[in-house]
């Protein structure tokens, strides 16, 4: 009986991932050209000395965090660091104080949009900034995906801003405006010195965007086929710990930190129809992390917090695209010693975390390209959140 039930659970997980593929592929087939055009417009602003100023409220603030770290700290070796800030904590005053005509202002919201975000974008537009609404119905560039699920909506938006980030670099490298690298030119030899036309590049970029989405789809199919049993078992194990009074303790670095933050917020402040689940993201604790990193070392920024926060009935969830981040390994090792349930969302081949068996449930997205790994990891933890909500309702 349990085998039949498990098969049904795995089939449900696979179908939810496939449903996302269908929705995402339709959207990007329709919008790829506009996304490419937005990327070119953004590259022009960066070449004029502009910055990307991003913001959102609630769970949408984690998208602003993610897009900021992607531009400032690119995961592709050799790509230029571009100025970006997450202004979510107080975006109206910060925009009023900071925004300049050459800037790019990007606002995030839930599927139905956010009126306060839209008003801030309108004000930035009047000051000459390039505005991008995700979602929205006005501004220089805006998209409103026809997706009701707030979880799938967030995943699509993450793919969208990843492709914006990737293709902005394409236009920078083609040197439409002849960007001058100055004394730092030796660091960015790919930029060249000659101005190049980009008329045909938009078409090529649009095709590349659809290729990226197709790669995502293949990874979701693979994850559904290979990882569904672990996803199901991990979800049931989390539910059992939460029923006993446990909480989720999430952590990750960079973009994975923002995914940990998003997962935690999805638990404690869920969309309508879902009940809250106790969860914290220790990746949100900037003061703790910087204090520990400064006084002891980066490798223990999560370990020290876990020691302070963990109870035996809790769940430790580490997110690592490489599977080898030392601070994630240290925290999972400590969690195992304390008999916490341990779960890891991993990329590549699972890395040292998988090889050393540091997670009770390691879930691996088998890719070596970080944006694609993160996009599929987002689908996985959102499917888990959906299932947890259904378990709460009995």
- At 86 the three-state DSSP class reads strand
| Cα Rg of the chain, angstroms | 21
Share of the chain above pLDDT 90, in %: 88
pLDDT digits (tens, 9 = 90+) for 145-178: 999 899 999 999 999 999 999 999 999 988 644 4
Q: What is the mean pLDDT of residues 296-316?
A: 98
pLDDT of residue 174: 81
- At 194 the three-state DSSP class reads coil
* Residues whose CB is less than 8 angstroms from the CB of residue 357 and which lie 6 or more positions away in sequence, other chains included: none
Question: 238 falls in which pLDDT band (50, 70, 90)?
Answer: very high
pLDDT of residue 197: 56
Give yes or no for residue 393 having a pLDDT over 90. no
pLDDT digits (tens, 9 = 90+) for 239-290: 999 999 999 999 999 999 999 999 999 999 999 899 999 999 999 999 999 9
pLDDT of residue 201: 85
Q: What is the mean pLDDT of residues 193-206?
A: 70
Q: Using a CB cutoff of 8 Å and minimum separation of 24, what contacts does 48-52 make?
A: 48/102, 48/177, 49/102, 50/83, 50/100, 50/102, 50/103, 50/104, 50/130, 51/83, 51/84, 51/85, 51/100, 51/103, 51/104, 52/82, 52/83, 52/84, 52/85, 52/103, 52/104, 52/106
Question: 2 falls in which pLDDT band (50, 70, 90)?
Answer: low
Domains of the chain: 22-213 (3.40.50.10490), 218-392 (3.40.50.10490)
Give yes or no for residue 97 having a pLDDT over 60. yes
pLDDT digits (tens, 9 = 90+) for 24-64: 999 999 999 999 999 999 999 999 999 999 999 999 999 99
Give yes or no for residue 184 having a pLDDT over 70. no
d(CA 136, CA 202): 23
Average the pLDDT over each of 16-20, 125-129, 190-194, 198-202 and give the range with the smallest value: 190-194
Give yes or no for residue 104 having a pLDDT over 50. yes
Q: What is the mean pLDDT of residues 311-317?
A: 98
């Amino acid at each position: 009986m349990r085998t039949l039930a498990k098969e049904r659970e795995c089939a449900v997980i696979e179908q939810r991932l496939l449903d996302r593929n269908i929705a995402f592929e339709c959207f990007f087939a329709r919008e790829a050209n506009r996304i490419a055009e937005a990327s070119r417009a953004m590259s022009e602003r960066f070449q004029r000395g502009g910055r990307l100023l991003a913001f959102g409220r609630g769970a949408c603030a984690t998208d602003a965090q993610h897009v900021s770290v992607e531009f400032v700290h690119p995961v592709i070796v050799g790509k230029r660091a571009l100025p970006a800030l997450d202004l979510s904590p107080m975006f109206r005053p910060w925009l009023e104080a900071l925004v300049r005509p050459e800037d790019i202002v990007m606002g995030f919201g839930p599927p139905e949009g956010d009126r306060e975000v839209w008003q801030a974008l309108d004000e930035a537009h009047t000051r000459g900034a390039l505005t991008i609404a995700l979602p929205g119905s006005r501004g220089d560039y805006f998209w409103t995906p026809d997706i009701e699920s707030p979880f799938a909506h967030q995943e699509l938006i993450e793919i969208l801003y990843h492709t914006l980030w990737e293709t902005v670099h394409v236009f920078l490298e083609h040197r439409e405006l002849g960007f001058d690298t100055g004394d730092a030119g030796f660091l960015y030899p790919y930029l060249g010195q000659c101005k190049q036309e980009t008329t045909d590049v938009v078409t090529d970029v649009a095709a590349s965007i659809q290729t990226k989405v197709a790669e995502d789809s293949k990874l979701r199919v693979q994850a559904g086929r290979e990882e569904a049993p672990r996803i199901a078992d991990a979800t049931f194990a989390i539910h059992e710990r939460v029923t006993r009074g446990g909480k989720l303790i999430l952590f990750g670095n960079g973009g994975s930190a923002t995914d940990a933050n998003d997962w935690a917020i999805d638990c404690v402040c869920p969309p309508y129809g879902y009940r809250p689940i106790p969860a914290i993201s220790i990746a949100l604790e900037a003061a703790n992390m910087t204090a520990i990193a400064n006084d002891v070392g980066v490798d223990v920024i999560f370990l020290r917090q876990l020691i302070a926060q963990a109870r035996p009935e809790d769940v430790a969830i580490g997110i690592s695209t490489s599977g080898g981040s030392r601070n994630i390994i240290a925290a999972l090792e400590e969690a195992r010693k304390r008999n916490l349930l341990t779960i890891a969302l991993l990329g590549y081949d699972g890395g040292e975390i998988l090889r050393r068996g540091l997670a009770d449930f390691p879930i691996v997205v088998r890719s070596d390209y970080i944006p694609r790994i993160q996009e599929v990891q987002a689908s996985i933890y959102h499917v888990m959140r959906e299932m947890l909500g259904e378990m709460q309702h009995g």
